[in-house]
Amino acid sequence: MAQLEHPTADDRNGGTYRATGALTITRAASTQRELESLADPLTIDLSDVQRMDTVGAWLVYRAVRDRGAKVVGASRDETSLLEQVADYDVPARVRPEQAGGIVKIAGELGLWIAQAGVTFIGLLGFFGATLIGFANLIRRPRRFRLNAVVQRFDVVGVRALGIIALMSFLIGIVIAQQGSVQLAQFGAEVYTINLIGRITVRELGTLMTAIMVAGRSGSAFAAQIGTMKITEEIDAMRTIGVSPIEALVIPRMLAAILMMPLLAFWSMLMALLGGGVFVWLALGYPPITYIQHLQEVIPPTDLWVGLIKAPVFGFIIALAGCFQGMLVQGNSEEVGMRTTTAVVQSIFLVIVLDAVFAVFFSNIGWI
What pLDDT does 170 receive?
Answer: 95
DSSP-assigned states of every residue in 262-304 = HHHHHHHHHHHHHHHHHIIIII---HHHHHHHHHHH--HHHHH
With a cut of 50, list the residues of the chain below it in pLDDT.
4-13
Asked if 69 and 164 sit in the same domain, the reply is no
Domain CATH code at residue 38:
3.30.750.24
What pLDDT does 99 receive?
Answer: 62
For residue range 41-73, what is the model confidence (pLDDT) as tens digits? 888 888 888 888 888 888 888 888 888 888 888
Is residue 333 in a domain?
Answer: yes
The domain total for the chain is 2
What pLDDT does 9 receive?
Answer: 33
As beta bridge partners, residue 121 has none
Q: Would strands 42-52 and 70-72 be described as parallel, antiparallel, or unpaired?
A: parallel
Is residue 358 in a domain?
Answer: yes
Is residue 111 in a domain?
Answer: no
| Cα–chain center distance at 356 | 26
DSSP-assigned states of every residue in 136-192 = HHHH-GGG--HHHHHHHHHHHTGGGHHHHHHHHHHHHHHHHHHHHHHHHTTT-GGGH
Q: What is the pTM of this model?
A: 0.72
- Residue-number span of the structural domain to which 47 is assigned: 2-87
Asked if 59 and 174 sit in the same domain, the reply is no
The helix (H) or strand (E) run that includes residue 88 is none
